[in-house]
Amino acid sequence: MPSRKFADGEVVMGRWPGSVLYYEVQVTSYDDVAHLYTVKYKDGTELALKESDIRSQSSFKPRKSQSSSSSPSRRSSSRSRSRSRSPGRPAKGRRRSASQSREHKDDKKKTMQETSLALPVLVLFKPSENNTKRYNGEPESTEKNATSCIILEQKLKPDLEIKRVLEQYSLRPRKDDKKKEEIYSEKKTFVAVKPIEKVSTKTKELEFGGRIGIFMLILLLPATVFYLLLMCKQDDPSLLNFPPLPALESLWDWRVFGVCLLWFFLQAAFYLLPVGKVVEGLPLSSGRKLQYRINGFYAFILTAAAIGVLLYFEFELHYLYDHLMQFAVSAAAFALALSIYLYVRSLKAPEEELAPSGNSGYFIYDFFTGHELNPRIGSFDLKYFCELRPGLIGWVVINLAMLLAEMKIHNLSVPSLSMILVNSFQLLYVADALWNEEAVLTTMDITHDGFGFMLAFGDLVWVPFVYSLQAFYLVGHPITITWPVAAAITVLNCIGYYIFRSANSQKNNFRRNPADPKLANLKFIPTATGKGLLVTGWWGFVRHPNYLGDIIMALAWSLPCGFNHILPYFYVIYFICLLVHREARDEHHCKQKYGLAWERYCQRVPYRIFPYIY
Residue 600 binds ligand NDP (CB under 6 A):
no
From CA 588, how far away is CA 586, in angstroms rounded? 5
Residue 369 binds ligand NDP (CB under 6 A):
no
Consecutive H or E run containing 279: strand 278-280
Mask: binding to ligand NDP, 412-451, rule CB under 6 A, as x and -? ------------------------------xxxx------
- Minimum distance of ligand NDP from residue 294's CB (angstroms): 17
The amino acid occupying position 103 is E
Residue 154 binds ligand NDP (CB under 6 A):
no
> Which residue, 43 or 583, is less far from ligand NDP as judged by CB?
583
Residue 388 binds ligand NDP (CB under 6 A):
no
- Minimum distance of ligand NDP from residue 282's CB (angstroms): 7
Mask: binding to ligand NDP, 495-534, rule CB under 6 A, as x and -? -----x---x--x--xx-------------------x-xx
Nearest to 39 by CA among 401, 48, 217: 48
From CA 572, how far away is CA 559, in angstroms rounded? 10
> Which residue, 163 or 589, is less far from ligand NDP as judged by CB?
589
- Minimum distance of ligand NDP from residue 449's CB (angstroms): 9
From CA 278, how far away is CA 438, in angstroms rounded? 10
Phi, psi of 512 (to 5 degrees): -75, -40
Q: How many residues does the chain have?
A: 614
- Minimum distance of ligand NDP from residue 480's CB (angstroms): 28
Alpha helices, DSSP H, located in 479-595: 483-512, 538-541, 545-558, 570-594
Mask: binding to ligand NDP, 449-488, rule CB under 6 A, as x and -? ----------------------------------------
Residue 114 binds ligand NDP (CB under 6 A):
no
Q: Which of 195, 590, 591, 607 binds ligand NDP (CB under 6 A)?
A: 590
Cβ partners under 8 Å of residue 124, min gap 6: 68, 70, 150, 151, 152, 514, 526, 530
- On whether the CB atoms of residues 354 and 450 are closer than 8 A, the answer is yes
> Which residue, 490 or 592, is less far from ligand NDP as judged by CB?
592
> Which residue, 161 or 459, is less far from ligand NDP as judged by CB?
459
Restricting to residues 76-105, name those near ligand NDP by CB under 6 A. none
Q: Which of 24, 372, 381, 586 binds ligand NDP (CB under 6 A)?
A: 586
> Which residue, 161 or 445, is less far from ligand NDP as judged by CB?
445
- Minimum distance of ligand NDP from residue 526's CB (angstroms): 11
Query: What pairing do the DSSP bridges indicate for beta strands 523-526 and 532-534?
Result: antiparallel
Buried b (16+ CB within 10 A) or exposed e, 288-308: eebebbbbbbbbbebbeeebe
> Which residue, 86 or 443, is less far from ligand NDP as judged by CB?
443
Q: Which of 547, 557, 569, 570 binds ligand NDP (CB under 6 A)?
A: 547
- Minimum distance of ligand NDP from residue 37's CB (angstroms): 31
Partnered with residue 280 across adjacent β-strands are 291
> Which residue, 319 or 541, is less far from ligand NDP as judged by CB?
541
Residue 223 binds ligand NDP (CB under 6 A):
no
Residue 191 binds ligand NDP (CB under 6 A):
no
Consecutive H or E run containing 223: helix 210-233
**Chain position whose Cβ is nearest to ligand NDP:** 443
**What's the helix, strand, coil split of the chain in %, to 5?**
55, 10, 35
- Minimum distance of ligand NDP from residue 393's CB (angstroms): 14
Long-range contacts for 586-595 (Cβ within 8 Å, ≥24 apart)? 586/444, 586/544, 587/543, 588/205, 589/444, 589/448, 592/164, 592/168, 593/527, 593/529, 594/527, 594/528, 594/529, 594/531, 594/533, 595/156, 595/160, 595/161, 595/164, 595/527, 595/528
- Minimum distance of ligand NDP from residue 464's CB (angstroms): 11
Q: How many CB atoms lie within 10 A of CB 612?
A: 7
From CA 60, how far away is CA 50, in angstroms rounded? 18
- On whether the CB atoms of residues 382 and 376 are closer than 8 A, the answer is yes
Number of chain residues interacting with ligand NDP (CB under 6 A): 22
- Judged by the rule CB under 6 A, the positions of this chain that interact with ligand NDP are 442-445, 500, 504, 507, 510-511, 531, 533-534, 539, 544, 546-547, 550, 582, 586, 589-590, 601
